[in-house]
Amino acid sequence: MASDQNTWREWIQAELSNGISPDTLLKTAKLHGALSEERSNQFWYEVSLWQKRKIKSLAALSRLSRMHLGPIKSIDVLSNYTAEEFVEHYLKKSKPVVLKNFAATWPCTQKWSLQYLCQTVGKAQVAINTQRTKLRGQDREYLQKIVSLSMQTYIDRIESESPTNDFYLVAHAEAWKQTEFSTLYDDVPLDAHWFDVTIPKRDALSFWLGPQGTWTPLHCDPVNNLLTLIRGTKRFKLIDPYQIELMNTAEGYYNLLRADDLKTHPNKIFRQIPVFEIKVDAPDALFIPTGWWHEVESLDISLHLSMTATHDAHIYKDYSP
């Protein structure tokens, strides 16, 4: 019974984090006959707990913003840097930065063409997020439109149908954790100066591959992410967590607004929120700290790795819904 209660609790919290309203969750539970009296009491307890955590996240965001002494004026782009400088001036201060040629010497940068991926993991079945343009919350509602394809078939679609935002292999698919992908692990070195090497490589990063035109809506993450481009170019629009007004339009980790909406928003406070736009090319990396809002567009067929095993990657544990 305990494990069943844990599953119930995890489902409630996950759906609330994805922006699903309590009333909708309640209707879903009733529809499936999963709402006993005991579970009904637990349901409202979990909703209350989640709401308290959301308030707590506001305090965490405020603290994060103070770590780099208020709103920043630009995103640094570095050509010469060390791991120690990154940790001291960016990781610890929750400050984004572009690291030029970060993955230039990694074997994956040299080897991972689409043809190579077909040869090595082409037979692997992967869960593809499809019909993204038809979903109101294309990433939050990813489970509604999932199809299983071989990597070979998926890559064929990428090459023949780009540009499009209609399908994408995202982190939720957990392709990187599949046995077939372990053949690629040695192509991604984890330097102990940069990463916590005690974390198994299957858990240290996620694998994203999509066509030109994929677009991820404005959202923030509960962990630090050293997003590393292996193929292609992406355009990022970032907003400082200091802009707490955006929590008023948030649903879970996602926002109802697009970054460009801020320019014409009827509320002057929103119009004054600065948006940092930057293009990142392979093999560069962009550090996106916990709590930073970001919107992402692929300008080419692109492949990136979200490296979440940075030192102190989970230091902001209180930033969670």
Query: What pLDDT digit, counting tens, does each position of 40-66 carry?
Result: 666 776 666 666 556 555 555 555 555
Q: Is 210 within 8 Å of 129 (Cβ atoms)?
A: no
Residue 37: both structure tokens together: 């009296």
Say how far apart CA 17 and CA 4 lie, in whole Å. Answer: 20
- The burial class, CB within 10 Å (0-12 / 13-18 / 19+), for 38 is exposed
| Mean pLDDT of all residues belonging to the chain | 84
Mean pLDDT of 8-18: 66
pLDDT at 131: 78
| Cβ-based burial of 199 (10 A; exposed 0-12, middle 13-18, buried ≥19) | middle
What is the pLDDT, as a whole number, of residue 2? 38
pLDDT by residue (tens digit) across 220-275? 888 899 999 999 999 999 998 878 778 778 777 888 899 999 999 888 888 999 99
pLDDT at 17: 59
- Cβ neighbours of residue 293 closer than 8 Å, sequence gap 6 or more: 218, 219, 220, 238, 239, 240, 241, 243, 246, 255, 259
Letter string b/e over residues 169-198, b meaning 16 or more CB atoms within 10 A of that residue's CB: bbbebebbebeebeebbebbebeeebbeee
pLDDT recorded at residue 169: 93
Residue that wins the pLDDT comparison between 94 and 319: 94
3-class DSSP assignment, residue 279: strand
Q: What is the DSSP letter of 287?
A: E
- Give the CA count within 13 Å in the CB-facing half-sphere of 166: 9
Q: In the chain, how many H helices and how many E strands?
A: 8, 15
- How big is the chain by its Cα radius of gyration, in Å? 20
Q: Mean pLDDT throughout 14-26?
A: 70
pLDDT category of residue 141 using cuts at 50, 70 and 90: low
Q: Tens digits of per-residue pLDDT, 92-138?
A: 888 999 999 999 999 999 999 999 999 999 999 999 988 777 655 55
Q: In this structure, are residues 204 and 240 in contact, taking their beta carbons and an 8 Å threshold?
A: no
Q: How confident is the model at residue 313 (pLDDT cuts 50, 70, 90)?
A: low
| DSSP class of 169 | B
Q: What is the pLDDT of residue 63?
A: 55
Give the pair of three-digit tokens for residue 265: 């928003």
